[in-house]
Structure 1
Amino acid sequence: MPLIETEGVEVINEEQRNRGFWKIFAIWAGFAIVITNFLLGSLTIGAGLVEGFTAAVISIVLVGVIVYFGTKIAAEQGTAGTTAMRAPFGIRGRVIPALATVLATVGWFGVQTGIVASSSKAILSNFGITVPFWLLAGALGIVMATVAVFGYEWIEWLNRLAVPIMTILLGLVVYQIFTNYSTSLGSSGGTGMSFWAALNVFPAATAAYLIVAMDYGRYGQSQDSSRPGWGATLAWIIFAIILAAIGILAAAAAGTWNPVEITVELGLGSVGLLLLIMGSWTTNVTNVYVGGIALSQLTGLQRLYMTVLTGLVGTGLAVAGIFSYGGIQSFLSALTVTLVPTTGILLVHYYLIEGGMDINALFEVDGKYWYVRGWNPVAVMAWAIGAAFAVLAPDWTVPALSSALVAGVIYYALDSPVGTWIERYQTQPRSSD
């Protein structure tokens, strides 16, 4: 692989698909040890200490199932997530999942960079150092995005270096919490969030994970695709649960969900600052990397340039102050509506309808994935119904998961009758699209 990765929407050849269990495990471990999972865990404290943790564990395991299948499909086919979406949505219809992916990755980049910049500002002020928020957010954003610009191998090296360090730092944070705040943990009760709402927190935030899993999994071992699949899944489940638990305990000890206030309240100091920066860095490179591929899917321009653009936009959002409780809640709702239904549609298409994927047809105008002028009306209808369900469904349905199921079922049900009409349409003489 060259110094700067050139692959974007293209299919990865079989020789390059050689990452096994441990290499994929390491990259997902770095992705999972992140301030976002700490934040999501702290949000579930509203349902109570035990209830929030139970909801977090259940939802993390369910998300792990999606990570497994996304990694496995990509290792088998060598396709990025938004490239694979051409199969169910159509070559032009790919804009729906691609736009949603750009929204998710750029938004989370801004949120995480904002959290780190705010926490860094607060911690540095305790040492008598005053740095403007905009300067910290801008500098951190640019540094975090740089590795993603170079590509996959650089992200692998970053995670290999950072994961052992972050594991030690996490141990120090847990020691600090139990040493100084153990007496306040047992009295932590809920603040009005239902168990079902808490169950929805992690799936809503991880709406892009099928696509993320595929973007990383496309370099996975093609001969035994279950090995990289299990590597990604176990790393996600283990470290996401650990981070969620620490977030819940820290929120209970500090009396607030806000990671900035938690960091200051618990006096984590330089240890907390280093963990915040490294944890966000290993995850934000993924946001920029995946967002760059999705933007390349939309524009047809090279991944390199689109990755740079994604990093700049995400940094701009951080500087503008995207991080807030209200902003996060609205953002999670937007992710659920736009992106979650596409997961169910792709999985149903791959496993139940086509039983695989025609790699060559992913790039053929007037091929099998051209459908109707480049759009598959079945997938668009199923996505719209799934998105409407995500908006209207009550919390107990856990719409961040069930909207994918609804969209998948609708897609499967409509495929045969509408698909017959599409086949007739494709065989009719018509002017060029």
Structure 2
Amino acid sequence: MAFESSPPQVTRDGRVELSDVGPIKDSRFYNPELAPVPVEQRTWTTYNFFALWMGMATNIPSYLLAAGLVAIGMNWLQAFLTITLGNIIVLVPMLLNSHAGTKYGIPFPVFARAFYGIRGANLAALLRAFIACGWFGIQTWVGGQAIHIIVGKLAGTGWTAAPQVFGQPWTLWLSFFAFWALQMAIIWRGMEAVRVLENWAAPLVAAGLVALTAWVLTRAGGLGPILSEPSKLGWGLDFWKVFAPSLMGMIAFWATLSLNMPDFTRFGGGQRKQAWGQILGLPTTMSFIALLSVLTTSGTVVVFGEAIWDPVALTARLDNAVAVVIGLVMVILATISTNLAANVVSPSYDFSNAVPKLISFRVGGLITGVLGVVIMPWRLISDPRVYIFAWLGFYGGVLAAVAGVLVAGYWVRSRTHLDLADLYVEHGRYWFNGGWNWRAVVATLVGSVLAVGGAHSGPFPADGLIPFLKPLYDYNWVVGFAAGFLVFLALKDNTAKETTR
């Protein structure tokens, strides 16, 4: 498609915008949601990004992440250190990919077009989208459980002991789908509704989790019995065997956001604002939630003689019905806050990118919601080993290869320079071969196979899917990122079309 466009405008702080989007509006790869955000609408502050991360990190799967490490044998200190280190590591590719969103005002799938091609970007976008659907389903299941217990406390055993359908009380299924419908109604109102929700929900949720921890500490007789609880793994070989795959799982927990933070940073008021908001928001909030989680779960070993890693189940054991209701309302707020920001916004853009003229942001959100049910999330969180080593580990390795390609392409190959208008048109700089850049595809496939080809946990064969790759699986995220990064750079061709025009 031939087109004439005015030169892009560049602000003092280096942010770029198209002075006229008219020439690209008729492109089949353009719609209003995927269009670059005008600079005057990039208004998110440091606090908005900090609150976003508070809202996304303050959630039940984050809690389950730390609690699961205690459940598989770590003590409170081992679990806390593992999670903190994992979040510091994943923050690096997250900030590197966030830069493009703030500079150009573009979402993740449009950013990916620069390196995968206009059409090839759908590979990266849909990989990320389908995983988000799984997370949406997990969060919605947790929220449905909370609603089920709240109503049960008020309505009695007739509700909680209702006849079963597909292995669960029919009232639990009703709670699950009611919570699903509530979230779909919010996302239908658009991104501004998500931003407002993030700003006020996170502090309330944090207060609820602090209260739950305080109750367990009181019942356990203070911190002393918890801190003295020995690790079942010790600090020897048994611990280090578990540490590496656990660390990869911690990194993988936010591997999705390490790709698609441009979906949010495109609204940023500047690079410093988005970077400091994330630096202050992610590691601190995740470490805080991890500390509450490991102390609470370790406390349940003292109080109940077993590690209760599910906070919904733990809250249901509170002595006071009012406290149960308040606690679970906090769970519901946490789940909505995280689910909309982390697991609906981004795949909505991703699905919209696949067919921009037919799938809007809202329709993309509805597709996410439907697939989140189809994936049967109740099975993914049935066991901490499946949750951490199979679910997190496998998808983390795949997405790490995509992250490697994006970081190599944007920072090394393109040196942060993109031709903004060409990201939306055929036969321009990013058309490559029929809309696909085969180098990025090959790098992603090689990185993914090396990272997860040896998968051997949960539903995978004990000897690994590809036995000789089994040793690499315990380091899946690092392997996937490094392989994607290096292979993409190694496949550079001898033309200048990719870096200059």
Q: TM-score range by the shorter chain?
A: 0.7 to 0.9
Label 1:145 to 1:185 Cα distance change in 2 as closer, same or farther (>3 A): farther
Asked whether the equivalents of residues 188 and 252 of structure 1 are also in contact (C-alpha less than 8 Å), the reply is no
Q: Deviations over 1:294-315 (max 9, x none)?
A: 1111122211211122123324
Could you tell me which runs of 5 or more consecutive residues in structure 1 were left unpaired when the two chains were aligned.
1-5, 425-433
Following TM superposition, by how much is the alpha carbon of 1:327 offset from its aligned partner in structure 2, in angstroms?
A: 5.5
Correspondent of 1:375 among 411, 436, 445: 436
CA distance in 1, matches of 2:420, 2:256: 22
Correspondent of 1:409 among 483, 486, 499: 486
Correspondent of 2:328 among 273, 298, 303: 273
Show the 5 A alignment for 1:44-123: 44-45=69-70, 46=72, 47-122=74-149
Following TM superposition, by how much is the alpha carbon of 1:396 offset from its aligned partner in structure 2, in angstroms?
A: 8.3
Correspondent of 1:290 among 346, 350, 355: 346
Which residue number in structure 2 is paired with residue 230 of structure 1?
276
1:244 has 2:306 as partner? no
Q: Secondary structure at the match of 1:9?
A: coil
Name the aligned partner's letter for residue 402 of structure 2: T
Mean Cα deviation higher: 393-402 or 192-201: 393-402
Correspondent of 1:352 among 412, 416, 425: 412
Which residue number in structure 1 is paired with residue 67 of structure 2?
42
Asked whether the equivalents of residues 472 and 479 of structure 2 are also in contact (C-alpha less than 8 Å), the reply is no
CA distance in 2, matches of 1:370, 1:26: 38
Could you tell me which runs of 5 or more consecutive residues in structure 2 were left unpaired when the two chains were aligned.
1-30, 161-170, 301-306, 455-468
Name the aligned partner's letter for residue 209 of structure 2: L
CA distance in 2, matches of 1:118, 1:196: 32
CA distance in 2, matches of 1:211, 1:7: 21
CA distance in 2, matches of 1:422, 1:138: 52
Name the aligned partner's letter for residue 296 of structure 1: S
Following TM superposition, by how much is the alpha carbon of 1:152 offset from its aligned partner in structure 2, in angstroms?
A: 1.6
Correspondent of 2:316 among 234, 241, 264: 264
Q: Secondary structure at the match of 1:385?
A: helix
Asked whether the equivalents of residues 371 and 422 of structure 1 are also in contact (C-alpha less than 8 Å), the reply is no
CA distance in 2, matches of 1:375, 1:180: 60
Q: Which has the higher helix share?
A: 1
CA distance in 1, matches of 2:118, 2:186: 30
Which residue number in structure 1 is paired with residue 206 of structure 2?
167
CA distance in 2, matches of 1:237, 1:296: 31
Following TM superposition, by how much is the alpha carbon of 1:138 offset from its aligned partner in structure 2, in angstroms?
A: 0.4
Following TM superposition, by how much is the alpha carbon of 1:259 offset from its aligned partner in structure 2, in angstroms?
A: 3.8
Correspondent of 1:307 among 365, 368, 376: 365
Correspondent of 1:144 among 177, 183, 194: 183
Asked whether the equivalents of residues 75 and 229 of structure 2 are also in contact (C-alpha less than 8 Å), the reply is no
CA distance in 2, matches of 1:317, 1:171: 32
Mean Cα deviation higher: 263-272 or 403-412: 263-272
CA distance in 2, matches of 1:249, 1:320: 25
Larger relative contact order (CA 8 Å, sep ≥ 6)? 1
Q: Secondary structure at the match of 2:255?
A: coil
CA distance in 2, matches of 1:200, 1:188: 24
